């Protein structure tokens, strides 16, 4: 299938940093805002951070690359990056602990359906959570099990996203292993505009804050991303 667009990078330079929707603020805490997240671009990687001020909140950092192009709805997409948790996950770690590592590939159809088509994964890394280590996928309205856990370590893992909107197919691959489920999703959104916008996303959510004691920050490293579009009948 002829390639119609190909982009890549070592880090997430020029990606957009945005507060996501997976946020919480404890009573007495101000709502989560852009000052609670950051993405730091280093030479060989980027560090996606959440709850950098150690507030009694749960903050969602979505860092994404956006391409506005109507061909995004008809082209086939293959995108990948590497990610790692750069600290030791443990109930005793009061400096760093997170709720999730997440990522996704979506195309927003603003002119016609006003639906967000795509796929996303979620890895639960909160060591206090009963679903600790679980991998999940987004079904358009909530998170569902992929039927597999990922053991925490300090190694890089490769996530690959495959999206074919005309055939309503989406598949996720982790460290070279493909999941059999078709995890194509359609999600309603508000305030997303009237253009066709494709988004490749790197995300993390900070840990749900304890009632007392130190509140950890959260960080995840991402590097070596690529995004290829292809079409048998390019315009």
Run of H or E residues at 99? strand 98-109
Torsion of CA 118, 221, 219, 34, to 10 degrees: -60
Q: Which residues of 99-110 are buried (b: 16+ CB within 10 A; e: fewer)?
A: bbbbbbbbbbbb
C-alpha distance from residue 115 to each of 44, 66, 132, 148 (Å): 35, 16, 31, 29
Average pLDDT, the chain: 97
Average pLDDT over residues 89-115: 97
- Domain hosting residue 107, numbered range: 3-230
Task: Tell me phi and psi for residue 35, to 5 degrees.
Answer: -70, -15
Work out the number of other CB atoms within 10 angstroms of the CB of residue 86: 13
Q: What pLDDT is stored for residue 213 in this prediction?
A: 84
CATH number of the domain that residue 185 is part of? 2.60.120
pLDDT in tens, 199-211: 999 999 999 998 8
Work out the number of other CB atoms within 10 angstroms of the CB of residue 57: 23
Average pLDDT over residues 121-146: 98
Beta carbons within 8 Å of 65's beta carbon, 6+ residues apart: 7, 12, 14, 15, 16, 199, 200, 225, 227
- Residue 220 pLDDT > 90: yes
pLDDT in tens, 19-35: 999 999 999 999 999 99
pLDDT above 90 covers a percentage of the chain that reads 95
**Separation CA 46–CA 42 (nearest Å):** 5
The answer to whether position 235 is within a domain reads: no
**Separation CA 184–CA 170 (nearest Å):** 5
The answer to whether position 130 is within a domain reads: yes
Average pLDDT over residues 161-165: 99
- Residue 1 pLDDT > 90: no
Residue owning tokens 């980027």: 46
Q: What pLDDT is stored for residue 235 in this prediction?
A: 64
Q: Which residues of 146-171 are buried (b: 16+ CB within 10 A; e: fewer)?
A: beeebebeeebeebbbbbbbeeeebb
pLDDT in tens, 66-99: 999 999 999 999 999 999 999 999 999 999 999 9
Q: 191 pLDDT band (50/70/90 cuts)?
A: confident
Q: What pLDDT is stored for residue 4 in this prediction?
A: 95
Q: How many domains does the chain have?
A: 1
């Amino acid at each position: 299938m002829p390639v119609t667009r190909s982009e890549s990078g070592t880090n997430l330079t020029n990606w957009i940093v945005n507060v996501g929707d997976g946020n919480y603020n404890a009573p007495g805490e101000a709502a989560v805002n852009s000052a609670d997240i950051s993405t730091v671009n280093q030479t060989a990687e980027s560090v996606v951070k959440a709850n950098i001020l150690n507030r009694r909140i749960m903050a969602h950092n979505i860092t994404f690359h956006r391409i506005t192009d109507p061909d995004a709805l008809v082209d086939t997409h293959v995108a990948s990056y590497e990610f790692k948790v750069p600290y030791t996950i443990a109930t005793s770690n009061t400096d760093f602990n997170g709720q999730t590592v997440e990522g996704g590939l979506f195309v927003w159809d603003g002119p016609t359906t006003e639906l967000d088509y795509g796929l996303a994964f979620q890895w639960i890394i909160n060591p206090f959570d009963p679903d600790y280590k679980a991998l999940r996928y987004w079904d358009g309205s909530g998170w569902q099990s992929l039927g597999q856990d990922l053991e925490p370590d300090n190694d890089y893992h490769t996530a690959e996203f495959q999206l074919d909107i005309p055939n309503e197919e989406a598949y996720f691959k982790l460290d070279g292993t493909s999941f059999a489920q078709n995890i194509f999703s359609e999600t309603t959104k508000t305030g997303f505009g009237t253009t066709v916008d494709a988004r490749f996303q790197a995300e993390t959510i900070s840990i749900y804050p304890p009632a007392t004691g130190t509140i950890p920050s959260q960080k995840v490293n991402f590097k070596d991303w690529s995004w290829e579009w292809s079409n048998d009948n390019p315009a």
